[in-house]
Amino acid sequence: MIPGVTIYEILTVTTLLFFIGVYGFVTRKNLISILLSVELMLNAVAINFVAINKYLYPDMLEGVYFSVFIIAVAAAETALAISIIINLYRLVTSVDVNVTETMKH
Amino acid sequence: MEQIIFYILSLIMVVFAIASVTSRKILRAVVYLLFVLIGIAGFYFLIDYNYLAAIQLTVYAGGIIVLFIFSVLLIHHIESKLEVPSLGRRLLVGFGSLVGASVTLFTIWSHPFNVAENSTKATEVADIGRGFLSYGEGGFILPFEVISILLLAAMIGAIIVAKGTRLTQKN
Amino acid sequence: MDILSLFVIVPVLTVLILVFAKDLKQARTIALIGGLVQLGMAVNLLFEYFKERALVPTSESPMLFVKDYIWFENFNIHYTIGVDGISVAMLILTSIVVLAGVFISWKIKDLPKEFFVSLIVLATGVYGFFISIDLFTMFIFYEIAVIPMYLLIGIWGSGPREYSAMKLTLMLMGASALLLVGILGIYFNSNADGGALTFNILEIAKVNIPFEAQKLFFPLTFIGFAVLGALFPFHTWSPDGHASAPTAVSMLHAGVLMKLGGYGIFRVAMYLLPLGAIDWSWFFIILAVIGVVYGALAAIRQNDLKYINAYSSVSHLGMVLVALLMLNKTAWNGAILQSLSHGFMTALFFALIGMIYERTHTRDIQKLGGLLKVLPFISAVYIIGGMASLGLPGFSGFVAEMNIFVGAFQHQDLFHRVATIATISAIVVTAVYILRVVGIMLMGPIKNEEFNDLPPSTWFERYGLYLLLIPIIGMGMAPLWLSDMILDSLTPFIARF
Amino acid sequence: MDFTYTILIPLIPLAVFLILGLNALKIKENVAGIVGVLGLLASTILSFYTAFQYFFKVGKVDGVYQTFVEKTTWMNFTDTLAIDMGVLIDPISVMMLVVVSTISLMVHLYSRGYMHGDQGFTRFFAYLSLFSFSMYGLVLATNLFQIYIFWELVGVSSFLLIGYYYTKPSAIAASKKAFIVTRFADFGFLVGVIMIGFYTGTFDFVTLNDPIALQDTASPIMQNIGVTFMGFSVITTALVLIFVGGAGKSAMFPLHIWLPDAMEGPTPVSALIHAATMVVAGVYLVARLFPMFHFIEGGIALEVVAYVGGFSSLIAAVIALTQYDIKRILAFSTMSQIGYMMMALGISGYGGVEGLGFTASMFHLFTHAMFKALLFLGAGSVIHAVHSNVLQDMGGLRKYMPITNITFLIAALAIAGVPPFAGFFSKDEILAAAYESNQLLFWVEWIVAGLTAFYMFRLYFGIFWGKERVYKHAPHESPLSMTLPLMFLAVVSAIAGLVPFSQFVSPDLVGYTTHIHMDIAAMSVGIGVLGIAIAWIMYKKETTIADKITSAFGFFYKWTYNKFYIDELYLFITRQIIFKRIAQPFAWFDKNVVDGTMNLIGNTTVDISKKIKGAQSGKVQDYAFAFISGVVIVIMVFIYFMN
């Protein structure tokens, strides 16, 4: 619990972060940038877990556990995503989502 | 004191987040994201979860960002600029995000949170470790193990995918 | 093994063996043997039916050879099969047309194995449909019959085949959606008198489904089947579909598949929802009579042989629908005879059109002429078919149409009278378009020098034609046994009205 | 007496038809001819044997001719209504058997010569056999439906024979016209038959024609006599409709247009079908149902028959005056003579001498069949020699074709009503009957008799006398196979009038004696001779009188020459109205409106799906945005509306 800071303020910050992530996710065309935005969103959510755990249920640690899981999953996901991106780049020499649409066919 | 630090951190996070999603150079975007992630780690420190802050720093700031930078370096010329989406799209999505944010904020602010006052219980790393490894009631041993397998699988998968064609061709 | 299930098993076995066929020769031989076995079974069934019927009168058991296997217990879905005189007649029709179709496709060029497989899968669906007593099983067989059509037209067709195949499939699928709603409606009302929900037609026939439900579900079921029976204005798939389809498929489609419509209407919509039928008959009579006159008139102005035949089918099948809606035994008898007769005739026509097209590479009657001189056999059969189609005595069409007219005339009110007279007037128009084709295409001078040395008909083509001609003439010459068999089977139906 | 064997009379030609028809391409000409002739000979012998048995041995019991019926059920409509097939033996059916057999046999014999060397010889004989089969079946029919069945079969054999020269466009058109016009008439017939079946509960002739039941309103067949349609009893309506069918086949105005065109067929066919047998089927049909026509509502339907017959005979005779195609002249003459028969039936009463009209009609049918067949066969012989149908190409042929000349003259005298030839007796009876019951019709027919004599002799003089033309090949007499039937028929035409017909054929089956009505005979012979005399003056030598008269009557001549433009009227109705204004729009409507609607539904679906497909871009970002927007919207809904 941070003295002088209410949960509202924390959640406001995380909400802003989350929607900045959304904005980036939708507007960006580059796959790596999209992945960056996803990371932003994931972190915003992780903070939420932690903050709510601390402010509402300080005696428990579930929020922390989930944050750890999120971080772990994010790490795995990023590693895999980047390997895919690199492989894709080899194939089509581009990481633009519009170009990679050819995969649909 | 903590209040001021929080505000500074918040400001840094939001500003660099915006910079990260709008920057036209990918490497800068990654660096801006690094700042955001460090800000989050600071936030964890503030909130007195030191362990989490440490993980945040090592895994995110240390691992993931490095991965990003490597891949960016592999794929892009450092000076190459990202394509900017059309103004209409940016406005539309920006407006949408703004509406979404305001709706969420409105919901948050109008919700009476039942804040538990006066809890001073310090969090120890040992507690977290015990929680992860407990197989009693409320224990997280199963998800913990699943995550470890997931990480392993992701690792192998990443190697295979990245090595790609040659491995699969042999089969 | 019961003799009815064989009608599903034999085609399935044929398909399984066909999968191993290597080339056209093997494929067609297997298909031919399969077709012959089916024809044999159908004829055998006829005799068995007569034998069994002599012991068990219709009043005791409307269906014979009934077998019942539980299929999906939770919804009380059974695989229930059985036949009465109507289904026996339909089975014979199917087996003959399938065999004739195999003969006509004797020299199919592309993908022969796949072609015969699709053809026989279609036949399986039709056989299954005619023997089912369970609504759900019936519906499944219906779908089995309709789906291969898309492939058959889409792959082996000619002209704008994809458009036609798509149109046909979409319209029939749309219809089966309506039909499914209708069938489910019947199902969920089948416990109206207490008891369990059931799909069994014979069980449902004992239940008094409330009038409101009948009124609601009759049109759904009726239209669902009538689209297949080319009810105006849902007939438009038929000219395009037939024009694009390969010969054997047109034969099977017009000859057999379209009969599913009339049969389904009779067996499901009218038998299970009699009050709905009475309530709605005026409306559908109007549509059907329009179809009769309109199909005939539209046929006058067509130049493509297949279009002429397709519109003529609209007209003839319109008569089936009119007759069904007249709600008396004579007209129903006529409707069923007309279904059979039209099945044979239209299959014959499509076979002939296929042969003519194969030789001259055109179906435009304005470009053809004097074929009687160069293709005497085919032309003579065409004339005979034409005479049968315009209801000449001595052929099946006459027998059927007379029953329809006499039956339709039993109603004394002005509405039915006008409908009847309009329907009868179609025979004049039919004569006009048949003679137009005969006059332009078969008679007259030869319009194209190349036609002088067209190859004559081959033995398998002749077998196919004979196979179809025999029942047409047989029915026309000695209709008594057939019409009595059908009349007898109609008693449970008339008891519902 | 068992007349079951008469079933063989139609079945033998059917067998011949099957044999020849199935092997039309294999059987040689002379074999086909012999098989055909022998088959028909067998039928003819059986017919004559039947006639002998019936009229002289077993037919008459207590002075009344009995009706013998042998039948079997062919198809059941309802529990009470069924179609039977069988044979019905009574005076008129036996009389018709004789007529059909005689003419058909003669035509078969004649055709062997006439069609010699034709490519489709076997086919021709197959068709002839088919026709004989159908005609016998029609004659022997036991009920209305059976007669309808064979009616149609006769129609189709007529169609096949008219279109025999199937590469000739005019023959195709004529065959189509004949079939469709008679089919249209049969539509009326069929409705009439169904009405009779529905309202009386039977199709059976014996039941329907029972005079006692017809006069008793309580009898089952009269149960619906009270049901009316447009002021008439439904049964009267039905009878009129049946007469429409008969009028179609017998070429009564206004359904006569097919008959002149039907002359496109080979001449023996014209003689057999379009002169002697099939075209009188309408007369036979009315005669078959005569008791019904007579008793139902006092014979209103019969009056229709009388006036239609009378008018047809007049109009046909007038048209025949101006035609040049010799077969068409004979065709119009046929129409005119059938009009006579119809008229005679129409004015006839029922019992005893009252039934003179009926007897006369049947008598005229009999004699007319003989001399008209002779005329056609003679015309065929001429055409065979000259290779033309047109009167202008002929003249002076008497020197080249003596037998044809004499036989033709006998037939012409017979049709003109000159005693003692057959036509005189039958025509005299008709006129006498008309005189008794309807003066107007009598005078009409009297004038027609004069016109007939005139145009027949215009034809005769035109062919055999008049100016001699230049022929490419010198005309020669036809071979014996053709002249033999001519001579036989000439003999019959000369003496057939002496048969005491009223003894055998009368509506009430009793029989009575007639005598020649001297006053009427004098009048009819007078006008006949006058007609012949005028023709003699105008056409025996080449004169210009005809041309002068023609120009004097300019407008009227043009109308009659063009057959009063009735063909053009029909053409206008079918081409312009039915084809162009009805069928064409229907086809258009189907292609564009009905199909268009269906396509519109399809295309709209496709368009919508394309638009939706645009949204379904495969871009995860767009999905995510949509998803998040959706979530936001759902939350908003929850916030603002759920609370």
The structural domains of chain B, with segments of one domain joined by +, span: 1-85, 124-171
Does residue D7 surpass a pLDDT of 50?
yes
The band of D447, judged by pLDDT with boundaries at 50, 70 and 90, is confident
pLDDT at res. A98: 62
Angstrom distance (rounded) from CA D104 to CA D275: 12
The band of D642, judged by pLDDT with boundaries at 50, 70 and 90, is low
Domain that holds residue C89: 6-496
In-domain check, residue C1: no
Domain that holds residue A97: 7-104
Contacting C residues, span 467-486, partner chain D, CB-CB under 8 Å: 478-480, 483-484
Asked if C409 lies within 8 A of D194 by C-beta distance, the reply is yes
B1-85 folds as Four Helix Bundle (Hemerythrin (Met), subunit A) (1.20.120)
The band of A44, judged by pLDDT with boundaries at 50, 70 and 90, is very high
The whole-angstrom distance between B171's CA and the closest CA on chain A is 18
CB contact D505 to C (< 8 Å): no
pLDDT digits (tens, 9 = 90+) for B118-171: 666 677 788 888 888 888 777 888 888 888 898 888 888 888 877 765 544 444
CB contact A4 to B (< 8 Å): yes
pLDDT mean over B49-60? 88
Asked if B96 lies within 8 A of D639 by C-beta distance, the reply is no
Chain B: residues touching D (Cβ < 8 Å) = 93, 96, 99-100, 103-104, 106-107
Find chain D residues with C-beta within 8 A of B99's C-beta: 632
Asked if B93 lies within 8 A of D635 by C-beta distance, the reply is no
Does residue D533 surpass a pLDDT of 50?
yes
Does residue C76 surpass a pLDDT of 90?
no
Percent over 90 (pLDDT), chain B? 11
**Minimum Cα–Cα distance from D635: chain B residue:** B103
In-domain check, residue A92: yes
Predicted-complex ipTM score: 0.66
A partners (3+ CB pairs within 8 A) are B, D
Does residue D12 surpass a pLDDT of 60?
yes
The whole-angstrom distance between D333's CA and the closest CA on chain C is 28
Top residue of C443, C452, C485 to mutate, by most chain D CBs within 10 Å, is C443
B·D CB contacts under 8 A: 19
The whole-angstrom distance between A89's CA and the closest CA on chain D is 18
Distances (CA, A) of D514 to A89, D52, D97, D567: 118, 22, 24, 42
Find chain D residues with C-beta within 8 A of A101's C-beta: 617-619
Angstrom distance (rounded) from CA D388 to CA D383: 5
Top residue of B86, B97, B102, B103 to mutate, by most chain D CBs within 10 Å, is B103
CB contact C435 to D (< 8 Å): yes
B partners (3+ CB pairs within 8 A) are A, D
Find chain B residues with C-beta within 8 A of D631's C-beta: 100
Catalogue the long-range contacts made by D563-572 (C-beta closer than 8 Å, 24 or more residues apart): D563/D257, D563/D260, D563/D319, D564/D315, D564/D319, D566/D254, D566/D256, D566/D257, D567/D257, D570/D257
| Least confidently predicted of C50-54, C107-111, C320-324 | C107-111
Please indicate whether chains D and A are in contact, defined as at least 3 beta carbon pairs under 8 Å. Answer: yes
A·B CB contacts under 8 A: 222
pLDDT mean over D123-128? 86
D partners (3+ CB pairs within 8 A) are A, B, C
Asked if A28 lies within 8 A of B21 by C-beta distance, the reply is yes
Considering CB atoms only, which of B36, B82, B161 is closest to A87?
Answer: B161
HSE-up of residue D268 (Cα within 13 Å, Cβ side): 27
Beta bridge partners of C116: none
Does residue A99 surpass a pLDDT of 70?
no
Nearest to C188 by CA among C272, C245, C132, C309: C272
pLDDT mean over C396-422? 87
In-domain check, residue A48: yes
Find chain D residues with C-beta within 8 A of B106's C-beta: 639
Does residue A104 surpass a pLDDT of 50?
no
Phi, psi of C132 (to 5 degrees): -75, 145
Considering CB atoms only, which of B96, B104, B107 is closest to D629?
Answer: B96
pLDDT digits (tens, 9 = 90+) for B72-104: 887 776 566 777 777 888 888 888 889 889 888
Top residue of D17, D26, D78 to mutate, by most chain C CBs within 10 Å, is D78
**Minimum Cα–Cα distance from B100: chain D residue:** D632
Distances (CA, A) of D520 to C258, D306, D419: 67, 20, 13
Considering CB atoms only, which of D621, D622, D628 is closest to A34?
Answer: D621
**Minimum Cα–Cα distance from B138: chain A residue:** A62
Please indicate whether chains B and A are in contact, defined as at least 3 beta carbon pairs under 8 Å. Answer: yes
pLDDT digits (tens, 9 = 90+) for D246-262: 888 888 877 888 888 88
Q: How far is CA D157 from the centre of its chain?
A: 12
Q: Yes or no: say if D462 and D340 are a contact pair by the CB < 8 Å rule.
A: no
Find chain A residues with C-beta within 8 A of D621's C-beta: 25-28, 34, 97
CB contact C290 to D (< 8 Å): no
Find chain C residues with C-beta within 8 A of D194's C-beta: 405-406, 409
Asked if D166 lies within 8 A of C443 by C-beta distance, the reply is yes
pLDDT at res. A20: 92
pLDDT digits (tens, 9 = 90+) for C125-135: 889 898 888 88
pLDDT at res. B167: 45
Beta bridge partners of C69: C79
Considering CB atoms only, which of B96, B100, B107 is closest to D639?
Answer: B107
Average pLDDT over chain D, rounded to an integer: 81
C partners (3+ CB pairs within 8 A) are D
pTM listed for this prediction = 0.77
Average pLDDT over chain A, rounded to an integer: 83
Find chain D residues with C-beta within 8 A of B93's C-beta: 625
Q: Yes or no: say if D296 and D236 are a contact pair by the CB < 8 Å rule.
A: yes
Distances (CA, A) of C156 to C27, C112, C408: 16, 10, 41
Asked if A30 lies within 8 A of B49 by C-beta distance, the reply is no
Does residue C137 surpass a pLDDT of 60?
yes
In-domain check, residue A1: no
Does residue D107 surpass a pLDDT of 70?
yes
Question: What is the three-state SS of D446-487?
Answer: HHHHHHHHHHHHHHHHHHHCCCCCCCCCCCCCCCHHHHHHHH
Does residue D514 surpass a pLDDT of 60?
yes
Neighbours of C16 (CB within 10 A): 11
In-domain check, residue C377: yes
Percent over 70 (pLDDT), chain D? 93
Q: Yes or no: say if D306 and D441 are a contact pair by the CB < 8 Å rule.
A: yes
Contacting residues for D213 by C-beta, under 8 A, at least 6 apart: D207, D219, D220, D221, D222
Asked if B107 lies within 8 A of D629 by C-beta distance, the reply is no
Asked if A104 lies within 8 A of D624 by C-beta distance, the reply is no
pLDDT mean over D629-638? 82
pLDDT digits (tens, 9 = 90+) for C151-163: 888 888 777 777 8
Please indicate whether chains C and B are in contact, defined as at least 3 beta carbon pairs under 8 Å. Answer: no
- Matching residue, tokens 């086809």: D587
Top residue of A10, A12, A14, A27 to mutate, by most chain B CBs within 10 Å, is A27
pLDDT at res. D85: 86
Nearest to C427 by CA among C390, C465, C476, C472: C390
**Which residue spans within D121-275 are E strands per DSSP?**
228-229, 232-233
Average pLDDT over chain C, rounded to an integer: 85
The whole-angstrom distance between D472's CA and the closest CA on chain C is 27
Asked if D621 lies within 8 A of A97 by C-beta distance, the reply is yes
* Tally of structural domains, chain C: 1
* Tally of structural domains, chain A: 1
CB contact A99 to B (< 8 Å): no
